[in-house]
Chain A
Amino acid sequence: MATIETRAERMILNMGPHHPSMHGVLRLIVTLDGENVVDCEPVLGYLHRSMEKIAENRTVVQYLPYVTRWDYLATMFTEAITVNAPEKLADVPVPKRASYIRMIMLELSRVASHLLWLGTFVADIGAQTPFFYVFREREMIYDLFEAATGMRMMHNYFRVGGVAADLPYGWVDKCEDFCQYFLPKVDEYERLITNNPIFRRRVEGIGTITRDEAIAWGLSGPMLRGSGVQWDLRRVDRYECYDELDWEVQWETAGDCLARYFVRVREMRESTKMVLQCLRQMPGGPYENLEAQRIAGGPKSEWNGAEYQFISKKPSPTFKVPKGEHYVRVEAPKGELGVYLIGEDSVFPWRWKIRPPGFINLQVLPQLVRGMKIADIMAILGSVDIIMGEVDR
């Protein structure tokens, strides 16, 4: 039974936590057979900061500055879920104007997140230049955030029952200008990237997830929609005022990296259109800053009414999380961002379990890269779109 062993010895390569394309501090232990990936094991936890434990002795307002450090590229969503969870548990109504402001901020944040994803994804495949183009547009979104919230990344803008401050005078015009400027820019990216034959060959048919697999792995966001599932929490859960807008769920059926690219690029367009609609439909009149109007109008001003009361006026330092438990989720750019909240009628939550989309989506990585080449790891990892801040929390 003597057989000749011709198999070469396998190489175990430790990629990360310090590696140019590991998106922060992800560590992959990759088993290689030449250039082929035999196995891959992600090692997490290098950015673990006890975000869930910290939440257990912070009030909601105290905790808000922490949450933007989960997914630091889609910061508005982490704030949204942090206020949504207690809001829903305590049944706090959100005034319509505040809800519209939230939607605008969320969609702008989604665009910013997808823009940065586009830059890093294409850079992972080797094209460095689009990174600078997406930063040009992302910069403008951050300028808008800065004008409205005072901070570019760590906004601390959402509050239980509303938002921290009304939009400043002229902001709506600036935002509309940006949207009009941005839509042609998305076409520009598409012209630059989509039909590039090298790009196509690097992403087409790479990292394919079937519809059933995607559901079984619990994937969400563009990962799920790229595999042919029309699942968007904005449609499914009907939170905020998304029902009042005219928009489509973007989805693809191929399930490969290219499909996920298409979904995200189209979502950028869709989100921009949603922002434009929000700006036009915003109640309370889009152009004025209500706070100034309210003070000018005196106590009898209509802006003192219940419909506008939570905009910038009533933060909630002693807001009590009522007894009870529930799960709240929003559609973040990376997928379903959820919080499982257990309250015990105290200012602190008893348990604050975060369901980060990146963490769940990352689980499928070893299966996707098995049998591929080394270079495909970067393409697939890029298309999963992880942020280690929220994966490790």
Chain B
Amino acid sequence: MATEIGLAQGIDLQRSTVALLTELGVPLVVAQVLWMLLPMVAIVLVATVGALVCTWLERKISAAAQQRIGPEYAGPFGLVIPIADVAKLLVKGNLVPASADPLLFSLAPAIVFISVFLCYLVVPFGQNLLISNLGTGIFFIIAVSSIAPIGLLMAGYASNNKYSLLGGLRAAAQSISYEIPLALAALAVAMMSNGLDTVQIVHQQEGLGLLTWNVWRQPVGFVIFLIAALAECERMPFDLPEAEEELVAGYQTEYAGANFMLFYGGSYANLFLAGLLVSVMYLGGWSLPVPIEAIGQALRIAPTEPLWQVVAALLGITMMLLKTFAFIFFAILLRWTVPRVRIDQLLDLGWKFLLPIGLANLLVTAALKLAFPGAFGG
């Protein structure tokens, strides 16, 4: 138990940063305000870099799937391509169609983008490596991410374009129908960990490493979550709102320049977020396949050793990113492998298949929790 307490304290960047600043003679209040800026910048950076890496991966993996090479000359392995993308889109003119509603048209991408970025607030990369440890973490994500469809609908309606309108309507219908199975799958996990707290969910999976990850205890929920997450991100088998062959680009049709970048970046940030959520909820978050305490004990290192704590935190972040990018790899490979479903098939899958199975899964989880409190988080 001692190790657990040691890890639970872990690295507390907030305390140490504030302590460092006050030692330097900064007043406590100012130090705390300064501290608040740090994670904000950090999270925006993490989300943006994550999204950029996703776009690069999309190019490279699609190229590999299609027997191409993909970006090659822009930096090593074409790594500079995402930056070139951003630079191009920032420099491009920000067109607003003459007959569009200018206010709603400009507001929509911001709403989508902000709602995605807000979700990163509660995503933990380590014991204390998150912005705010809300008691309602998962609920917060589900609530905030359901603001995005309003932005999509807004974009579709404000563009005054029929393709955009159809795309916006599809986006709204799709988000609403897949939010519910997603929430049900998340609820089953929350039930097992006795709370909606993201850190708590990871802790509850840490016990025996790989063996106690939720993916083994919630296989059905895992699959539901994967499908619903792909649908929420509008990824390939479910990318109907922007189906190129049908709706040109859906709600994005009229967008250009920075506004388009917000949609584009937002969708990849959303994919990255979905990957992070999958790893937090089902793949043990930052925990290693072998419990970190066991490694520490095997190496005869005290868990309170500062260097060891830094190493453990870095290992945790690496694990988290590995799991996340495994999901993203899966999503990208899927995008370049399968055809697109039709809107009625999509809604059928959501309402007639995922929803009942999600409910049954919740019920079974509750029953198992009562029957085997040890294994299913009593």
- Is A bound to B? yes
Inter-chain CA distance A156–B137, complex, in Å, is 69
B66 touches A20 (CB 8 A): no
Residue-by-residue, is A267-291 near B (CB-CB < 8 Å gives 1, otherwise 0)? Answer: 0000000000000000000000000
A198 touches B162 (CB 8 A): no
Residue ID in chain A nearest B347 by CB atoms: A35
Q: SS class of chain A's interface: helix, strand, loop or mixed?
A: helix
Residue ID in chain B nearest A19 by CB atoms: B248
Is B189's CB within 8 Å of the partner chain A?
no
Residue ID in chain A nearest B239 by CB atoms: A126
Cβ-neighbour of B340 out of A11, A14, A32, A125 (below 8 A): A125
Cβ-neighbour of A378 out of B65, B163, B245, B338 (below 8 A): B245
A116 to chain B, nearest CB (A): 16
With A13-B162, A123-B245, A126-B236 already in contact, the answer to whether A133 and B343 are too (CB < 8 A) is no
Is A201's CB within 8 Å of the partner chain B?
yes
With A20-B248, A201-B345 already in contact, the answer to whether A125 and B339 are too (CB < 8 A) is yes
Sort chain A's interface into a size bin. Answer: 20 to 34
Query: Which residues of B does A touch, CB under 8 Å?
Result: 62, 65-68, 162-163, 165-166, 170, 236-237, 239-240, 243-248, 336-345
Inter-chain CA distance A199–B340, complex, in Å, is 8
Q: Which residues of A contact B68 (CB under 8 A)?
A: 132
With A13-B162, A374-B166 already in contact, the answer to whether A124 and B245 are too (CB < 8 A) is yes
Show 23 A/B contacts (Cβ-Cβ < 8 Å), sorted by A.
A13-B162, A14-B162, A20-B245, A21-B244, A32-B166, A35-B343, A122-B339, A125-B339, A126-B239, A126-B245, A126-B339, A128-B62, A128-B336, A129-B65, A129-B66, A131-B66, A198-B339, A201-B341, A373-B343, A374-B246, A375-B243, A377-B246, A378-B246
Residue-by-residue, is A108-135 near B (CB-CB < 8 Å gives 1, otherwise 0)? Answer: 0000000000000011111111011100
B161 to chain A, nearest CB (A): 10
Number of A-B contacts (CB under 8 A): 84
A196 touches B338 (CB 8 A): yes
Q: Which residues of A contact B339 (CB under 8 A)?
A: 122, 125-127, 196, 198-199, 202
Query: Which residues of A does B touch, CB under 8 Å?
Result: 11, 13-14, 19-21, 32, 35, 122-129, 131-133, 136, 196, 198-199, 201-202, 373-378
Residue ID in chain B nearest A203 by CB atoms: B339
Q: Which residues of B contact A128 (CB under 8 A)?
A: 62, 66, 336
7 more contacts with CB within 8 A, not counting A35-B344, A128-B66, A132-B67, are: A125-B339, A129-B65, A129-B337, A131-B66, A199-B339, A202-B342, A374-B246
A48 to chain B, nearest CB (A): 25
A118 to chain B, nearest CB (A): 13
Enumerate the 7 nearest inter-chain pairs by beta-carbon distance, A residue then B residue, closest first: A126-B340, A132-B66, A21-B245, A127-B339, A125-B339, A126-B339, A375-B342
Residue ID in chain A nearest B66 by CB atoms: A132
Q: Which residues of B contact A199 (CB under 8 A)?
A: 339
Inter-chain CA distance A133–B344, complex, in Å, is 30
Q: Which residues of A contact B342 (CB under 8 A)?
A: 201-202, 373, 375-376
